[in-house]
Amino acid sequence: MQLDRTDIKILELLQTDGRISNIKLAEAVNLSATAVLARVQKLSADGYILGYEAKLNPDLLDKSFVIFVEVLLDKTTPNALDGFSAAVVEYPDIIECHMVSGGFDFLVKIRCENMQAFRKISGQVLWQLPGVKETRSYPVMEVIKESGKIALNSKAGQKKA
């Protein structure tokens, strides 16, 4: 499926407000509610929309402490990488994990209550994950920008030649 301007506008609006009513969405893109519903269903079926979730306030939920951790494994064989990857998904305080290239193997983002909670996670979780050789931790002093939104443009969804 190749996206047109209307599809892109629908995706932009849904990224901003995933709870927008179908009627308001239709008004915003100048289509009927039925046509917009069909497009949203098609965008979902084609995998452009992966799901919907609420953005929660970490301060009110006592999860405002954020730490990035570089993780270096003792070896980078497919089994070692897969073992670490499979294990890390089991821990809810680890909210992101990315395999990266460079001086370390994974970049992990942890959200927890405070430094004391992180020390516990570090000792009881991070260092217990398969193959961990070394970690470097970077507590966040201030969040400047945090967004899960994807910047869309007129070429979004077009197949590369």
pLDDT at 141: 96
Hey, what CATH class is 58-139 in?
A: alpha beta
Residue with tokens 């994807």: 150
Whether 25 and 13 have beta carbons less than 8 Å apart is answered as: yes
Tell me the three state secondary structure of residue 72: strand
Percent of the chain surpassing pLDDT 70: 95
Asked if residue 154 has pLDDT above 90, the reply is no
pLDDT at 153: 82
Question: Nearest CA to 122 among 61, 58, 68?
Answer: 68
φ/ψ of 125, rounded to 5, equals -120, -65
**Burial, 106: exposed, middle or buried (Cβ in 10 Å; 0-12, 13-18, 19+)?**
buried
Q: Where exactly are the structural domains of the chain?
A: 5-46, 58-139
pLDDT at 157: 63
pLDDT confidence tier of residue 49, bands split at 50, 70 and 90 = very high
Could you report the per-residue pLDDT of 70-101, keeping only the tens digit for each? Answer: 999 999 999 999 999 999 999 999 999 999 99
pLDDT at 1: 73
Pick the CATH number of 5-46 from 1.10.10.10, 3.40.50.1820, 3.40.1280.10, 3.40.190.10: 1.10.10.10
Beta bridge partners of 25: none
Does pTM surpass 0.95?
Answer: no
The secondary structure of residue 103, as a DSSP letter, is: S
Lowest-confidence pick of 30-34, 52-56, 67-71: 52-56
Whether 98 and 88 have beta carbons less than 8 Å apart is answered as: no
Asked if residue 161 has pLDDT above 70, the reply is no
Residue 85: its H or E element? helix 78-88
